[in-house]
Amino acid sequence: MMDLFSPATTKHAPKPSGPLADRMRPCTLDEFVGQEHLLGEDKILRQLLFARTIPSMILWGPPGTGKTTLAHLIAETAGKHFVSFSAVTSGVQNIKEVIKEARHQWTYNTKETILFVDEIHRFNKAQQDAFLPHIEGGTIVLIGATTENPSFEVIAPLLSRSRVFTLNPLSEQELIIILERALKDKIKGLGEYSVQLSEEAIEYITQFSDGDARAALNTLELAVLSTQPNKDNVRNVSAAHVQEAMQKKALLYDKAGEEHYNLISALHKSLRDSDADGALYWLIRMLEAGEDPLYIARRMVRFASEDIGNADPQALQLAVAGYESYRFLGSPEGELSLVQVAVYLACAPKSNAIYSAYREALQDVRTKGSLPVPLHLRNAPTTLMRNLGYGKGYQYAHNFPEALVNQEHLPEPLKGRGYYKPTNRGKEAEIRKRLEIQRKMKLKDPKDEIR
């Protein structure tokens, strides 16, 4: 039986000539960086590995966070037979072959098989269905990896048989640890070179890698190899070398990234103050400086809800469309979509009523605890529930004029709360009128209406 922290077998040993990101894959759990919420002391995945109890699971997280590496390490520390394939290139026939091999391993070697499926969200429903009987029968333990939300991309029967573990983007400090290891490692890394990496270069790599270890290592390798050594055979890698490797210009970051936040703040405030010219300038300034366009797009999606809300509900739809449009087109064509969104958001009527309502309701949820749902709002699918008063007195809105009813929908301690306070601007002016009618009705005594 393999010790939990023993060196990994050579089944996934990196090729000496492969990319740095592949060569630097951790071979033991001790080498694995990040995901402390799963692998830290007394955390769930580490405890399962100590117990050598490996359930079927879905590893959900952004690229470069260690999903594939973790799957290999889980199989090796548990001493299981490991089979890996990608949903991009494999189909049902491949699954049948894997199942046949898994049965052989169990029959002749009494060894369970872990089947790792990369990008499992790319399998359609029928292909995902093919795993179910073999998971149920114990022929395989499935580990799926996906960058997409499993709730939407993985079928419910498969989810119900699996644990979902969420992997987080690596922090800048975690990326720095990985980069330093690569620079020191003379066998798998870049330790054979004499490298001096400036602090600005490290910052640039970690900030623009966006929590992706693979992107960080690939950038480091290209920057080092493309930097000519000086007379002392030292490669002084600067931010400019990294920019060239990433094909992005640097923002005027200082160590705290202040200029980055200054620029996004200027864009946000220009949008909020309805200054389309200012918003356009700061948007293009950020794009030209090399900021990730999708970061800007995400900020504008947030702005559409936080600062416009229901004053113009179309703003959120357009912001999301701009994000998807850029993803579809890329640069430079997609940047025009971001410009269109910015100008629209700046010119739209403004309201922070949604944001304020969210904060007020959140405060009550966090301070009042789990208040019981009023009986008349509860479903009553059984006789017992009906006898207990579930659903009693509920008024069906469609049976009333304008579908408005005098009925309380908050727990008793919160009765009378009014979180959402729409403005008189844009579409919210109409919403305000209807909401005022509904709230005035709730101030009446329901018995008066019955009489």
Q: What is the CATH number for 413?
A: 1.10.3710
Q: What's residue 139's pLDDT? A: 79
Q: Are residues 337 and 408 in the same domain?
A: no
Q: What's residue 89's pLDDT? A: 65
Cα–Cα distance, 288 to 235 (Å, whole number): 28
Cα–Cα distance, 60 to 238 (Å, whole number): 34
Q: Are residues 42 and 67 in the same domain?
A: yes
Q: Is the pLDDT of residue 95 over 80?
A: no
Asked if the structure places residue 336 within a domain, the reply is yes
Asked if the structure places residue 2 within a domain, the reply is no
Q: Are residues 17 and 123 in the same domain?
A: yes
- Structure-model confidence comparison of residues 24 and 252, the more confident one: 24
Q: What's residue 4's pLDDT? A: 34
313 pLDDT band (50/70/90 cuts)? very high
Q: Is the pLDDT of residue 214 over 50?
A: yes
- DSSP-derived pairing of the beta strands 194-197 and 113-118: unpaired
Average pLDDT score over the chain: 83
Q: What's residue 249's pLDDT? A: 52
Say whether pTM exceeds 0.85.
Answer: no
Asked if the structure places residue 358 within a domain, the reply is no
Q: Is the pLDDT of residue 451 over 80?
A: no
Q: Is the pLDDT of residue 8 over 60?
A: no
In the block, tokens 């499935």 appear at: 142
Q: Are residues 15 and 160 in the same domain?
A: yes
Q: Are residues 112 and 26 in the same domain?
A: yes
Asked if the structure places residue 66 within a domain, the reply is yes
H or E stretch covering 285 = helix 276-289
Domain boundary among 166, 186, 221: 166
Domain holding 192: CATH number?
Answer: 1.10.8.60
Domain holding 39: CATH number?
Answer: 3.40.50.300
Domain boundary among 314, 347, 380: 347
Asked if the structure places residue 359 within a domain, the reply is no
CA angle 23/27/30 to nearest 5° reads: 125
Q: Are residues 72 and 148 in the same domain?
A: yes
Asked if the structure places residue 362 within a domain, the reply is no
Helices (H), 161-211: 172-184, 199-209
Q: Are residues 267 and 159 in the same domain?
A: no
**Cα–Cα distances in angstroms (integers) from residue 325 to residues 273, 282, 302, 333, in the given order:** 26, 20, 17, 9
Q: Are residues 277 and 402 in the same domain?
A: no
443 pLDDT band (50/70/90 cuts)? low
Cα–Cα distance, 331 to 363 (Å, whole number): 41
Q: Are residues 318 and 226 in the same domain?
A: no
Q: Is the pLDDT of residue 356 over 60?
A: yes
Q: What's residue 1's pLDDT? A: 31
pLDDT in tens, 100-147: 777 777 776 666 788 888 888 888 888 888 888 888 877 788 899 998
Percent of the chain with pLDDT over 90: 24
Which domain, by its residues, includes 234? 172-246
Q: Are residues 194 and 132 in the same domain?
A: no
H or E stretch covering 143 = strand 140-146
Instruction: Work out how many domains the chain is built from and give that number.
Output: 4
Domain boundary among 147, 166, 185: 166
Q: What's residue 317's pLDDT? A: 96
Q: Are residues 18 and 110 in the same domain?
A: yes
Q: Are residues 282 and 150 in the same domain?
A: no
Asked if the structure places residue 354 within a domain, the reply is no
16 pLDDT band (50/70/90 cuts)? low
CA angle 75/78/83 to nearest 5° reads: 25
Contacts of 334 (CB under 8 A, 6+ apart): 293, 325, 326, 327, 328
pLDDT in tens, 369-426: 888 888 888 888 888 888 888 888 888 889 888 888 888 888 888 888 888 888 888 8
Domain holding 335: CATH number?
Answer: 1.20.272.10
pLDDT in tens, 39-55: 888 888 888 887 777 88
